[in-house]
Amino acid sequence: MKISIPFSSSACETGLGKVVGGEGVMGLPYALYVAGNKNTILTLWSISDRVTAEFITSFFAKLKAGRGQVEALTATKCEFIKKGGRYSNPMYWAAFVLYGV
């Protein structure tokens, strides 16, 4: 099954923000939320485009199969751990976080 991903490239560290007094953490997650986006997968550190493409393709395949977003993210992380080798290293899967409801 081929999943079409609507983004041409990945962006690293999209889950980071800046602490603003009286406001909390301001950054892309907050901006997307204010714009009406309910849930977003973001990263906390740099990951290669190839690994990101593999991770997101697997994640969207699980969504397409009917899993919820939290379940799909958890299952994709478990899949990477079970692959063994370098993919089992948290460096390749732990950076992906779900912001939203």
pLDDT one-digit tens code per residue, 66-83: 999 999 999 999 999 999
pTM: 0.71
Q: What's the rounded mean pLDDT across residues 76-91? A: 93
Does 9 reside within a domain?
no
Q: Residues 38-43: what's their mean pLDDT?
A: 82
* Domain count for the chain: 1
What is the number of other CB atoms lying within 10 angstroms of the CB of residue 61? 16
Residue 1 falls inside a structural domain: no
Which regions of 1-101 does DSSP assign to beta strands (E)? 17-20, 24-27, 39-43, 96-100
In the structure encoding, which two tokens stand for residue 43, read together?
Answer: 């990263």
Backbone region of residue 92 per phi and psi (left: phi > 0; alpha: psi in -120 to 50; beta: other values) = alpha
How confident is residue 18, by pLDDT bands cut at 50, 70 and 90?
A: low
> CA-CA distance, 56 to 86, in Å (whole number)?
17
Residue span of the structural domain in which 70 resides: 17-100
Q: How far is CA 8 from CA 4, 52, 53, in A?
A: 10, 12, 10
Q: Look at residue 5 and tell me if it is in a domain.
A: no
